[in-house]
Amino acid sequence: MTFIVGDNCINCKFTDCVEVCPVDCFYEGPNFLVIHPDECIDCALCEPECPAEAIYSEDEVPEGQEAFIELNAELAQIWPNITEMKDAMPDADEWKEKSGKIDLLQR
């Protein structure tokens, strides 16, 4: 089992989760983070650290967000690894409560 980043991260990109990850399995895109499923050790340290509540266990992904399982795996192959906390996106607090943002995902 692995953890995945879901819809709430789009246009937020808080990196509190990155700071606590013991295996550096987060990858960064322009407005979204993903977790590499082959590197995640299912430690669950990242989940409670996410201010946008965007991280889910693979078997607890909310209904309608199942596509993010494959999206995390796909994008982790092409995006650069992120290992340190960075500033969130400028309007992150405004976006973190909004859902249905997949069309805003920048690859």
Looking at the domain 3-84, which fold is it? Alpha-Beta Plaits (3.30.70)
Q: What is the pLDDT of residue 69?
A: 98
pLDDT at 1 over 90: no
Nearest Cα neighbor of 58 from 36, 75, 76 is 36
Separation CA 46–CA 102 (nearest Å) = 21
What is the per-residue pLDDT across 32-67, written as a single tens digit (0 to 9) for each?
999 999 999 999 999 999 999 999 999 999 999 999
Burial 61-81 (b: 16+ CB within 10 A, else e): beeebeebbebbbebbeebee
Domain-by-domain residue ranges, the chain? 3-84
The pTM assigned to this predicted structure is 0.96
How many Cβ atoms sit within 10 Å of the Cβ of residue 99? 12
Average pLDDT for residues 7-12, to the nearest whole number? 97
Average pLDDT over residues 76-96: 96
Residues 6+ positions from 79 with CB-CB distance below 8 Å: 27, 28, 29, 34
